Structure 1
Amino acid sequence: MAGSILIVDDVATNRIVLKAKLSGARYTTLQAADGRAALALAMTEKPGLILLDTNLPDMRGSEVIARLRAEPETRRIPVIAMTVHDDPALRIELLKAGANEILTKPFDELVLLARLRSLLRAHASADETALRALTCHELGFAESFHDFAPPARIALIAHRPERALHWKAALARCLPTERIQVLSGDMPLDDPRAGEVPDIFVIEADLARNGDGLRLMSELRSRAVTRDSVIAIATVRTARETQATALDLGADELLPCDLSGPAAQEAALRLRAQLGQKRLRDRLRVSVDEGLRLAMVDPLTGLYNRRYANAHLARMSQRARRTGRASVVMVLDLDRFKRVNDSYGHRAGDHVLTAFAKALRANLRGADLIARIGGEEFLVVLPDTTLDDGYRTAERLRRAIETQSIRLPSGENISITLSIGLALGGTRDTDPQHLVDEADAALLNAKATGRNQVAVAQTSNAA
């Protein structure tokens, strides 16, 4: 079951306790008592994440993970390994097999749930990017790649320079081909020179003041040039609240502040795994961005065009029917747009359309599909979204456009309004084009009842 969590433990009491904790956090669970049952369930149910006890009666935990990673259908499922003893050799074995995280029993519930949220978010984002790349491939616009990858650039930022230098020496022994450098915590966040953006930042949670490292991470996430870099936060092992907060704020990895002994090898394995995932994401992103630039993107607004939207909407609908997750389809139209062209000229009209497209990007998520499907008509698809959330998003868009003043090339300022029609998909077996037609009918209703409003398809209200 997509989105569920598979609990694998041969002790029934342990499974019951974990299920209770996860159910309290509103997660759906599956259970298996041994490795073979876990592999079978993973193949048939495609869980969103696996919690794997490493002391199973039929096979080692590392073998279960290795088999999961060997199958295309299960290789991307996040795995948290649960161990009884904090054995460095076992941790290395599990990480080499492909574990995403290792927790020692009894583990801290706060950190466990934060790690679950972090891995599930990353998994969903990777799935969406892979889905878009697959759409490109099926349409014949996939980009080819070479296996060669240049050395990674790893930036280390610690409160005390001597600690950062210790990290550098420890990691350099385990990652000899990568470029590792020490940076200052007060470094400028202006755009780095081309080719010098760090692939990975390792940041101590507490720099000059408690929490400064987390604030720096938030700044890096907000900058376009560093948004896609891997960020690992270094903390002391007992800083449970800091660890949970770091994960919820977007940290990709947690490392100990002390990288002495086996901890350095474990940290290097974690960073190497994160680097591999980043490079895959980068390749998929290039496959989408470059492969579709001319054939699948509207040249005026830079949004996807109708051809791409139809193909991607069909694939999103297939996934929604398979997983049972709702999605919302919006058709948007600028009110009385012809008056803009008639009064100010087509150049001004083009300027309004590009400003509107920019506003859509600024107010929607990266996973949302945005396309221009007509002159002043646009399509938006919100995956994994309920009708109520979709309506709130539509209202937020409508208000944002209504209050926006657009400066034309002539120097004049104008305002425009927006009408939106909504339809709900994924809860019933509906043809993707029929969903668009339903949203379009709702749009006509919004126009007929006064414009500058959001209307919901009658079938969606009934659902």
Structure 2
Amino acid sequence: MTARILVVDDVLANVKLLEARLSAEYFDVITALSGAEALTICERAQCDIVLLDVMMPDMDGFEVCRRLKSNPKTHHIPVVMVTALDQASDRVRGLEAGADDFLTKPVSDIALVARVRSLVRLKLMTDELRMRAVTSREIGIENPVLESIADTGRGGRVLLIDDRESSWDRIAGMLSAEHTVDVEPDPAEALFRAADGEYDIVVVSLALQSFDGLRLCSQLRSLDRTRNVPVLAVADADEESARLNRGLEIGVNDYVFRPIDRNELLARARTQVRKKRFTERLRDNVQLSIEAAITDALTGLHNRRYMETHVSTLVEQAIARGKPLAVLVLDIDFFKAINDTHGHDGGDDVLREFAMRLRKSIRGIDLACRFGGEEFVVVMPDTDLGVAAKVAERLRRRIASEPFLIHATGKTVEVTISVGLAGLGGPDDNPTKVLKRADEALYRAKRDGRNRVVAAAA
């Protein structure tokens, strides 16, 4: 797994040292000697991760990080602060500026590579979602990045897994200042609780007395329902660096050392909660874009594209199983006159109400679609022509029995429909033929006076 790493430091010797270490691991390295240069490179989307020195003239690393994280174009780029400052207050300041991680000089090669690889995995996971989010914005769906920039990372649901009461009591007390905290002292129950709890972050003590904390972290990563929940490990000060780096490799997102600094713990938890919410917004955004691609925005029914894709599957399944299938093509009578009299907004009111009545008249397994304009199609699996005719007639009466309200004027309009239906023929039948027969039946219904149901000849 490789990536393009931006190394930012005003001391050329430091830049060259990090460049050599990363290049040896086959990362593509680019460099910048100032914060302003780094901001330009990032805004041009020329890097995947930033290794950022803190102490720089003109613009320090904290300010560079703040600007990166407040810009929608660069908000998603992971930032690792590389600093000689090792006080908890310095780490908190960096985390509050938006930093994703820290490396303290002199930088360990093992720690450097482990952190970079961990963040590369996170970056790759979100990049595909971000690309889809761009497409979503083009069709009018809200940009999730703007919400994420404003997110404080507070108010999350935290599961704390720790089997020492003195330890969990202290950690829970710290986290409760900003989050809702549940404590699970039994590692054997922790997986089930994490899977069922819809948590924003799981905090795991690596000093569990009865279980390997890292193994628990790996199990959290292996379950579908907890795979995307951030894991924050709590490690003893003398924890082996190789073990911590192993934790990063198996999916631990971050860790904090004992004795725990309250502000640092809260800052790291906020960072992970923000990341989770950002990823969830991206996923929700993708789901909305998928729904928009297959749903008619006005009526909420499936659109023609969806129907054309799925009607073939339904017909093939019916033929293979030797089951009946019926297709209804429906058209609102004299719809142009409704538009001319009540305007297009009035016509939209009629279409929405018609779609609602249509849904209530068919089964959940039936496929209802807006074919275009005032024409609709219903595909009914496991339904013979006789039953389909009864459903169509019931729908016709339901439409004609109650006037449709025009919301802007408070007036009502009488609406009727014409329906053509066709059943599946022999094993050589196909969707095009069935739809054509139903459409021809609809034409006969309209020709014979409208407000009627006509079945295609067998």
TM-score by length of 1: 0.59
User: 2:254 — aligned with what?
Assistant: 253
Shift of 1:181: 2.2
User: 2:54 — aligned with what?
Assistant: 54
User: 1:28 — aligned with what?
Assistant: 28
Aligned length: 309
Amino acid at match of 1:163: S
Task: Give unmatched runs, 5+ long, in structure 1.
Answer: 298-304, 309-337, 348-463
Say whether the 8 Å CA contact 2:195–2:225 is kept in structure 1. no
Paired with 1:44 and 1:291, the residues of 2 have a C-alpha distance of: 26
Say whether the 8 Å CA contact 1:191–1:225 is kept in structure 2. no
User: 2:191 — aligned with what?
Assistant: 189
Paired with 2:174 and 2:316, the residues of 1 have a C-alpha distance of: 66
Change (3 A) 1:91 1:143: closer
Say whether the 8 Å CA contact 2:159–2:203 is kept in structure 1. yes
Say whether the 8 Å CA contact 2:159–2:194 is kept in structure 1. no
Paired with 1:75 and 1:340, the residues of 2 have a C-alpha distance of: 47
Paired with 1:223 and 1:47, the residues of 2 have a C-alpha distance of: 31
Amino acid at match of 1:107: V
Amino acid at match of 1:286: D
Equivalent residue in structure 2 for 1:289, among 284, 287, 290: 287
Change (3 A) 1:85 1:295: closer
Shift of 1:159: 3.8
| Pairing of 1:309-388 with structure 2 (within 5 A) | 344-345=321-322
Q: Secondary structure at the match of 1:187?
A: helix
| Pairing of 1:429-444 with structure 2 (within 5 A) | none
Paired with 2:184 and 2:23, the residues of 1 have a C-alpha distance of: 43
Change (3 A) 1:209 1:227: same
Shift of 1:235: 1.5
User: 1:152 — aligned with what?
Assistant: 156
Change (3 A) 1:22 1:340: same
User: 2:179 — aligned with what?
Assistant: 178
Change (3 A) 1:170 1:204: same
Amino acid at match of 2:9: D
Paired with 1:158 and 1:116, the residues of 2 have a C-alpha distance of: 28
Paired with 1:47 and 1:200, the residues of 2 have a C-alpha distance of: 28
Shift of 1:340: 8.6
Shift of 1:225: 2.7
Paired with 1:193 and 1:93, the residues of 2 have a C-alpha distance of: 33
Say whether the 8 Å CA contact 1:157–1:202 is kept in structure 2. yes
Paired with 1:200 and 1:276, the residues of 2 have a C-alpha distance of: 10
Q: Secondary structure at the match of 1:77?
A: coil
Paired with 1:68 and 1:199, the residues of 2 have a C-alpha distance of: 24
User: 1:393 — aligned with what?
Assistant: none
Say whether the 8 Å CA contact 2:161–2:205 is kept in structure 1. yes
User: 2:271 — aligned with what?
Assistant: 273
Shift of 1:80: 0.8
Q: Secondary structure at the match of 1:29?
A: strand
Does residue 240 of the first structure (1) align with residue 241 of the second (2)?
yes
Task: Give unmatched runs, 5+ long, in structure 2.
Answer: 296-302, 307-314, 325-458
Amino acid at match of 1:199: D
Which has the larger Rg?
2
Q: Secondary structure at the match of 2:233?
A: strand
Paired with 1:12 and 1:162, the residues of 2 have a C-alpha distance of: 48
Does residue 222 of the first structure (1) align with residue 215 of the second (2)?
no
The RMSD of aligned alpha carbons is: 3.6
Paired with 2:190 and 2:274, the residues of 1 have a C-alpha distance of: 27
Shift of 1:290: 4.4
Shift of 1:192: 6.7
Paired with 1:248 and 1:51, the residues of 2 have a C-alpha distance of: 19
Paired with 1:83 and 1:177, the residues of 2 have a C-alpha distance of: 28
User: 1:41 — aligned with what?
Assistant: 41
Paired with 2:195 and 2:53, the residues of 1 have a C-alpha distance of: 45
User: 1:166 — aligned with what?
Assistant: 170
Change (3 A) 1:126 1:107: same
Paired with 1:81 and 1:9, the residues of 2 have a C-alpha distance of: 11
User: 1:208 — aligned with what?
Assistant: 209
Paired with 2:245 and 2:113, the residues of 1 have a C-alpha distance of: 8
Amino acid at match of 2:93: E
User: 1:9 — aligned with what?
Assistant: 9
Say whether the 8 Å CA contact 1:201–1:231 is kept in structure 2. yes
Q: Secondary structure at the match of 2:80?
A: strand
Q: Secondary structure at the match of 1:10?
A: coil
Q: Secondary structure at the match of 2:170?
A: helix
Amino acid at match of 2:111: V
Paired with 2:27 and 2:42, the residues of 1 have a C-alpha distance of: 17
Amino acid at match of 2:161: I
User: 1:412 — aligned with what?
Assistant: none
Paired with 1:284 and 1:307, the residues of 2 have a C-alpha distance of: 24
1:155-211, CA deviations, whole angstroms, 9 ceiling, x for partnerless residues? Answer: 111242221111112333xxx2411121122215347797x322111001242357x
Of the structure 1 ranges 249-258 and 286-295, higher mean CA displacement relative to structure 2 is found in: 286-295
Say whether the 8 Å CA contact 2:205–2:233 is kept in structure 1. yes
